[in-house]
Structure 1
Amino acid sequence: MNPPPFIFTPGTALAAIGDRTGLDRFEYVIRHGSMKAGLYAPQDRDMQGPHRQDELYAVLSGTGLFEKAGRRAPFGPGDLIFVEAGAEHRFVEFSTDFTCWALFWGPAGGEPDHQPTGS
């Protein structure tokens, strides 16, 4: 039996996504404890809603705008986007080649913010 992989490529995940459409253009590549990671490659529209866990998106290709809690910001390859659990968010006006890793972790409701206050 082969050991499970520990390096995951966008190509492998995209091959698993195949001809899926809409929100189904997502494929988990790893689950470990509370952490889950997958490739997201939406087409046309991103109709996702808030998630129960904190999340990071690592943009691999494409450009567009990211909307979170009513604010929009441009994104591109190499950008890392943080979304706390429960926050409304989605990708808007994105290019046809848009692809990103999506990583979820922690308890339902998200982790407490450990940043010092007042700084």
Structure 2
Amino acid sequence: MNWITTSTQAHNAIAEALNAGTAPSGLPVAQLLEHGTMKVYFYEPRGTDKQPTHKQDEVYVVVTGSGTFAIGSHEDDLERIPFGPGDAIFTPAGAIHRFENFTDDFSAWVIMWGPLGGERSHP
């Protein structure tokens, strides 16, 4: 996959993430690109996924690994969906969500965009 952008810094960060297979910051997530309301991250949690709900709609594109994705509006009724490389998972703004029982090599691109509260809240 080639990314073309006018920002040399963003291009280099994306290339570094792809080549190293890890977020350039060494943290489980690194923001690599921002344009308007859109942000692109490389996400690579280890052990457990502790992310909070988000204020924008987002899509995860699984690069490596597999596991289960839990999503819903309440902790007691989360839907659990198996995922693997190449899967794209849409998560609306405000949804409770996390990756569970994922393999040690799990990584994903994360694309967030749109108004705070998600596009559904802004017809």
TM-score higher than 0.5? yes
Whether 2:69 is the aligned partner of 1:66: answer: yes
Cα deviation 1:64-98 (Å, max 9, x = unaligned): 00000101010000000000000000000000000
Unaligned runs of 5+ in 2: 1-5, 73-77
Aligned to 1:83: 91
Q: Which has the higher helix share?
A: 2
Distance 1:103 1:13, change over 3 A: farther
| Partner secondary structure for residue 14 of structure 1 | coil
Provide the aligned length of Structure 1 versus Structure 2.
Answer: 106
CA distance in 1, matches of 2:111, 2:24: 18
> What's the TM-score once normalised by structure 2's chain length?
0.79
- Equivalent of residue 92 in structure 1, options 73, 95, 100: 100
Instruction: Please provide the CA RMSD for this pair.
Output: 1.9
* Post-superposition offset of 1:12: 5.7
Aligned to 1:11: 19
Cα deviation 1:7-63 (Å, max 9, x = unaligned): 534236725133x3xxxx101110000000010000000011210000000000000
Whether 2:55 is the aligned partner of 1:52: answer: yes
Whether 2:114 is the aligned partner of 1:109: answer: no
Task: Indicate conservation of the 8 Å contact 2:29/2:43, yes or no.
Answer: yes
After TM superposition, the runs of 4+ consecutive aligned structure 1 residues lying more than 6 A away are: none
